Amino acid sequence: MLTMHESAVDDAVARVQKWCAERVPERVRDHVRIECEPETNQITIVERRRAPDATTDWTRQPIVQLHHTPQTTLWALYWHDDEGRFHAYELLEPTDSVERLLTEIEDDPAGVFWG
């Protein structure tokens, strides 16, 4: 049986997976994808592109992480820089709403997620 924490994280992962799948039109998914990589208490959203030589290899570029703090049940955003590091996203306080985080990522008011 899942704990309340595990259930909330599983629900968040399912929602982020759905959001990622909706970001790229089906007609170009053989060239670019937005995917999520769930781990314990965090979800990393990555952009994947087919390698320029058209092999089966795909590039992987982290975009953002959603960090979950079990003690508070809040989620926080972290953006990924060109040097390969994640930084706390300070324009949005941690929230219990994954939907709110996904809206912030999509809107990207600071231009740190999508450039």
Asked if residue 112 belongs to a domain, the reply is no
Confidence of residue 1 (pLDDT cuts 50, 70, 90): very low
Asked if residue 83 belongs to a domain, the reply is yes
The boundaries of the domain holding residue 58 are: 4-107
Asked if residue 57 belongs to a domain, the reply is yes
Asked if residue 44 belongs to a domain, the reply is yes
What are the pLDDT digits (tens) for 29-51? 888 999 999 998 999 999 999 87
Whole-number percent of the chain with pLDDT over 70: 93
Is 78's pLDDT higher than 80? yes
Is 77's pLDDT higher than 70? yes
Asked if residue 115 belongs to a domain, the reply is no
Looking at residue 2, its pLDDT comes to 46
Asked if residue 47 belongs to a domain, the reply is yes
What are the pLDDT digits (tens) for 8-22? 789 999 999 999 999
Cα distance between residue 15 and residue 13, in whole Å: 5
Looking at residue 115, its pLDDT comes to 76
Sheet of strand 32-39: strand arrangement: 32-39, 42-50, 58-69, 74-80, 86-88
Asked if residue 28 belongs to a domain, the reply is yes
Q: What's the number of domains the chain is made of?
A: 1
- Which residues in 59-86 are b (16+ Cβ under 10 Å) and which e? eeebbbbbbbeeeeeebbbbbbeeeeeb
Looking at residue 57, its pLDDT comes to 84
Asked if residue 29 belongs to a domain, the reply is yes
Whole-number percent of the chain with pLDDT over 90: 75
